């Protein structure tokens, strides 16, 4: 159950970030390059943490 919830949360996060990237590309002039990079780097770190959690849960089972 927990694994299914995490996998769905992961998919939802990918959809949200994809929408954010599309939105940002249409509003580039409103955001500085630093903010754009910060969001991407922050998301990549979050994705790595989620992957590590999934690996840990799979390792226990």
pLDDT at 36 over 80: no
CA distance 11 to 27: 24
CA distance 24 to 41: 15
Supply the mean pLDDT for the chain: 78
CA distance 36 to 42: 10
Both tokens of residue 7?
């996998």
> Which pLDDT value is given to residue 61?
60
> Which pLDDT value is given to residue 4?
83
The full set of domain ranges for the chain reads 2-60
Question: Per-residue pLDDT tens for 6-17?
Answer: 788 878 878 888
How many Å separate Cα 39 from the centre of its chain? 9
- Residue 32: which region, alpha, beta or left (left: phi > 0; alpha: psi -120 to 50)? beta
Question: Per-residue pLDDT tens for 16-32?
Answer: 888 877 777 766 656 67
């Amino acid at each position: 159950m927990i694994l299914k919830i995490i996998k769905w949360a992961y998919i939802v996060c990918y959809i949200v970030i994809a929408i954010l990237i599309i939105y940002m590309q249409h509003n580039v002039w409103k955001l500085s390059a630093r903010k754009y990079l910060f969001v991407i780097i922050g998301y990549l770190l979050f994705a790595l943490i989620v992957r590590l959690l999934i690996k840990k849960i799979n390792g226990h089972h």
